[in-house]
Chain A
């Protein structure tokens, strides 16, 4: 509390310069032990040194403005995968994310679309979006200032998306995706990356996370529960006995791809892999968290389990500890099988309503969607 006093005693001036971490998040008021502080400092330095060496390699790999990237990936996909798993240097993250997600291509194919969506279209979700703006990364300096540039761009991206895909509109949770992206790229880039993810430019589309009924959330939770049982039978059994189901703890993992409540240095490392390898890493990281705390968790009763899910120990959220554990889980083919199993189960219990199974859209279709949004606009204006 000592540190806090020094800050609190000053007048609340116009620009309170509260100390922030290297990602721009306002530091919690002396919440962690002195241990925690020195530890994170050493992590910090270690990462910076490593980054120096990495940045060089990465710059070579990418080329000027990403010009060599596609060529490099085609020739050395495994090198790329390995390097991404080790973490993309923070200063190149924004660019690389756009390259690996396919959003750069979307942007180039749809010039002017974003601007039109932002400026001319109106969205039914505007009020809902506004209500959540100040509740998205409220502890990050970029988003703190009321109506400041951070909040404005967050609003614009979300509004643009809600117009672009009126089926999805705006759903709570999307703000954390958009907010995370905005810390690394411009509004327009962030918008197209959101489109690339939800419409499936490279991987399976994820719009089902936010569509009515949250069908993809339900599917992921089903798959995750099965995986826990298979990978950690004792823990899975314990969850069943304690009547814990994954919607109690994992829905926000999936809905926000770990951007809601995990330490930011873990979030960005997960996103590095997520954008390149797809959603399976969210399952892997979820399993790794449970595996790391396994021996503790199997002993806990219902309420203490719920508490533990929201308070993973600091060591568990160190990406250099957690990700290697995550990658030991081989889940790709099992996830596919479980998806089929889930779809079958759905069809069985619900023969009449068709649950649309979406396939990755080709980039061409993407641009058509862009122009459709545009023509909608022009028609309604006439």
Chain B
């Protein structure tokens, strides 16, 4: 388990990022393409949360991305929304061949506004561009939407490994510029949650917190 430990632990910044979006849009495969250059045709639906990291160069800095991949089904937000806290970036994925997954983007944005730090950087990703003949969400529409909402935007194909690298470069660069512009102290979320954590640990969330905190969600 040790191995090349030293080398991989040297980085300038550690950024926590969450992958969210409707179920089946390809979040897990985007992650595996980015972190292991793998794509699995026979992948299982994600239950709960999964985790992976990759260290890469962004704008001359070595940045380690800690990425939380979340189950997309609405009911799982009871668990997954706890992971938004302390995240510096969110990769919000839809499937270009499934309009409903794009229509739901605004609900995901609301979800982030409710649970994530206010200055979280958000990138909209239209995945599955390889399904050319099935495309149902126009690049233009998504682009306009992203602009109006102040999100960065890119289209990817995890299957063909198109733009995946670029997508993560984009969000990580975005986070880097955001945190290097403004002083870290300005956030009330506290404990460095909104700043890049230099040579340290990320901020993680306790299950207990998830229970005791936001209780306004459930309706019966």
Contact = CB atoms under 8 A, between A and B. Distances in A.
- Report if A and B associate in a common complex: yes
Question: Of B24, B44, B215, B218, which is in contact with the most chain A CB atoms at under 10 Å from its CB?
Answer: B44
A132 B47 CA distance: 12
Interface residues of B, number: 38
A173 interface: yes
A303 B71 CA distance: 20
Interface stretch (B126-134, B177-185, B200-208): B200-208
Given A173-B47, A302-B204, A139 B42 contact: yes
A15 interface: no
A132 B211 contact: no
A135 to B, nearest CB: 4
Contacts of B218: 212-213, 353
Given A210-B75, A218-B207, A300-B1, A350 B215 contact: yes
B216 to A, nearest CB: 9
Question: Of A213, A217, A296, A345, which is in contact with the most chain B CB atoms at under 10 Å from its CB?
Answer: A213
Contacts of A175: 45
Contacts of B203: 243
B44 A260 contact: yes
A356 B220 CA distance: 10
Contacts of A7: none
A244 B66 CA distance: 14
B207 A212 contact: no
Given A132-B23, A346-B211, A247 B49 contact: yes
A214 interface: yes
A68 to B, nearest CB: 39
Nearest to A135: B45
A221 interface: yes
Contacts of A308: 1
A366 B177 CA distance: 59
Interface in A221-270: 221-222, 225, 243-248, 251-252, 255-256, 260-261
Contact of A296 (B1, B42, B43): B1
B62 interface: no
A256 to B, nearest CB: 6
Contacts of B79: 214, 217-218, 247, 251
A371 interface: no
A109 interface: no
Contacts, number: 114
Contacts of A251: 47-49, 79
A246 B73 CA distance: 20
Contacts of A212: 75, 78, 218-220
Contacts of B23: 128, 131-132, 172
A221 B1 contact: no
A63 interface: no
B56 to A, nearest CB: 16
B219 to A, nearest CB: 7
B78 to A, nearest CB: 4
A135 B207 contact: no
A135 B82 contact: no
Nearest to B43: A135
A218 B201 contact: no
A284 B122 CA distance: 41
A37 interface: no
Contacts of B207: 218, 221-222, 225, 245-247
Contacts of B75: 171, 210, 212-214
Interface in A298-352: 300, 302-304, 306-308, 310, 345-346, 349-350
A136 interface: yes
A138 interface: yes
A248 B207 CA distance: 9
B49 A248 contact: yes
Interface in B158-200: none
Contact of A260 (B47, B206, B208): B47
A26 B206 CA distance: 37
A303 B205 CA distance: 14
26 contacts: A128-B23, A135-B43, A138-B44, A172-B76, A175-B45, A210-B75, A212-B218, A214-B75, A214-B78, A221-B207, A222-B211, A243-B203, A245-B206, A245-B207, A247-B48, A247-B207, A251-B49, A252-B47, A255-B48, A260-B47, A304-B1, A308-B1, A310-B50, A349-B211, A349-B212, A353-B220
- Across chains A and B, which 6 residue pairs bring their CB atoms closest together, nearest first? A251-B48, A138-B42, A243-B204, A252-B47, A245-B207, A247-B207
